[in-house]
């Protein structure tokens, strides 16, 4: 049927149509292969660093209440952050996964990015024991600056120029484009921010 429709068209239009489809398919394949070979890395933005912090808090909470869990489990075509196999409960940050799982036998719990991990108990579909977490003490500013110098590989009280040079060298090592991780890169940036405010010229 398509060939009958195409036979009534001028030759140049038929060729153009065919070339357009071939190029579109080639581009789609290229993007697919590129995504498989070089998966996109999440940047260290606020929401992603918030996700990492939330995952840590939820992990600590589940450990504290003695609940067995698995992380990164695919359920109903969606990967959830935590799955409690004994309770058939899935914990996710993704609203699409939550709504998809609502239609399944698995009980889904949606955790917003800003929700503290210790608040998870009120959302779970079973009784949870009371757990108290100690709030971490604010780090002493001197410890922060000393830690910053250590991250940059400098002695305490290094000059501003030394801090700048050490930062440039360290960034080359840990930058995600050169094989480093976003976490290391962010740590070096934070160390530079802390040390450069204290460095002596």
Side by side, which strands form the sheet with 78-84?
Answer: 70-75, 78-84, 89-92, 107-110
pLDDT number for residue 46 = 37
Question: Rounded CA gap, 47 and 112, in Å?
Answer: 10
pLDDT value, residue 54: 81
Domain shared by 19 and 86, yes or no:
no
| Token duo for residue 162 | 């030394």
**CATH code (residue 158):** 1.10.287.110
At 43 the pLDDT is 37
pLDDT of 6 reads: 54
For residue 91, give the CATH number of its domain: 3.40.960.10
CB neighbourhood size of 196 (10 A): 14
pLDDT of residue 199: 41
pLDDT of the chain, 201 residues: tens digit per residue: 555 555 666 777 778 888 989 988 888 888 877 777 765 444 333 344 556 778 888 888 999 999 999 998 899 888 999 999 999 999 998 888 899 998 899 999 998 867 777 788 888 999 988 877 655 555 555 567 777 888 888 888 788 888 888 888 888 888 877 777 777 878 888 888 888 764 443
pLDDT score at 143: 61
Query: What's the structural domain count of the chain?
Result: 3
Does 133 map to a domain? no
Domain co-membership, 51 together with 102: yes
Predicted confidence at residue 41, as pLDDT, reads 43
Whether 52 and 115 share a structural domain: yes
- Rounded Cα distance between 112 and 109, Å, is 10
Q: Which domain holds residue 30?
A: 12-41
In a domain, 7, yes or no: no
With respect to residue 2, please indicate whether it lies within any of the assigned structural domains.
no
């Amino acid at each position: 049927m398509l060939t009958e429709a195409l036979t009534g068209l001028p030759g140049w239009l038929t060729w153009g149509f065919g070339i357009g489809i071939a190029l579109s398919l080639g581009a789609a394949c290229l993007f697919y292969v590129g995504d498989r070979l070089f998966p996109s890395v999440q940047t260290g933005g606020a929401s992603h660093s918030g996700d990492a912090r939330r995952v840590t808090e939820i992990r600590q909470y589940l450990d504290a209440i003695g609940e067995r869990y698995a992380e990164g489990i695919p359920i109903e075509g969606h990967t959830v952050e935590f799955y409690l196999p004994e309770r058939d409960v899935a914990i996710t940050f993704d609203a699409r996964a939550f709504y998809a799982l609502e239609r399944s036998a698995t009980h889904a719990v949606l955790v917003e990015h800003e929700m503290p991990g210790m608040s998870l108990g009120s959302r779970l579909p079973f009784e949870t024991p009371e757990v108290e977490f100690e709030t971490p003490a604010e780090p002493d500013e001197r410890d922060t600056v000393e830690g910053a110098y250590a991250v940059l590989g400098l002695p305490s009280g290094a000059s501003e120029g030394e801090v700048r040079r050490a930062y440039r060298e360290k960034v080359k090592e840990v930058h995600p484009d050169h094989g480093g991780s976003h976490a290391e890169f962010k740590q070096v940036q934070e160390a530079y921010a802390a040390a450069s405010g204290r460095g002596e010229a």
